[in-house]
Amino acid sequence: MNLTKLARKAIEKYFDGEIYDPDAKTKQKYTKKGACFITLTKNWELRGCVGSLLAHQQLYKDVIRNAINAAFKDYRFEPLHKTEMSSIKIEVSVLTIPKDLQYKNENDLLSKLNPSMGLILEKYNHSATFLPQVWTDLPDKKEFLEELSLKAGLDRNDWKSSHYKYYRVKKYKE
């Protein structure tokens, strides 16, 4: 079973009040610890997106948990209805380990950014992340960082003095 099918099965089983327990072959295939984000879209519009930044459990467990959370517990959306399942597309993004992004000033930071990066902004007790897929909607580097600052609950210009980590993703789409 591939990761998108695993996520879909987890959501379908949850409609019946069950937590999906995959077969031994699937568990073995995804037994290594991993971090992932599950993104749900409906008619090319975001319908849910929840994930983990750090690998803290076996990848198959992370996919199941995040699929359920994206479908039913993303605070930005109503819980998914069973009738929507046929129009939902699932994307699984498996993350690399985040690394510190070293930079000297805002121009140096901007020069180091590229659309293959997912970014984590941290300042004070605030943090937020954008997956690399967000670059499609926000291709301007400065605007990308401004929106990330706002997502973290900070001022639009706080990107200039924040700490960053970056990661790469391997995407699996239906």
**Cβ(38)–Cβ(67) under 8 Å?**
yes
User: Using CA of residue 39, residue 142, residue 116, residue 112, what is the dihedral sign?
Assistant: negative
Structure tokens, 93 = 């993004």
For position 1, what pLDDT does the model report? 83
For position 6, what pLDDT does the model report? 98
For position 100, what pLDDT does the model report? 97
For position 40, what pLDDT does the model report? 98
Domains detected in the chain: 3-95 (3.30.700.20), 99-168 (3.30.1490.150)
pTM of the predicted model, to two decimals? 0.90
**Cβ(165)–Cβ(99) under 8 Å?**
yes
Phi first, then psi, for residue 82 (nearest 5°) are -55, -35
* DSSP element (H, E) containing 88: strand 88-95
Rounded average pLDDT per 10-residue block, the chain, 174 residues: 96 97 97 97 96 96 98 97 97 97 95 96 95 95 97 96 95 95
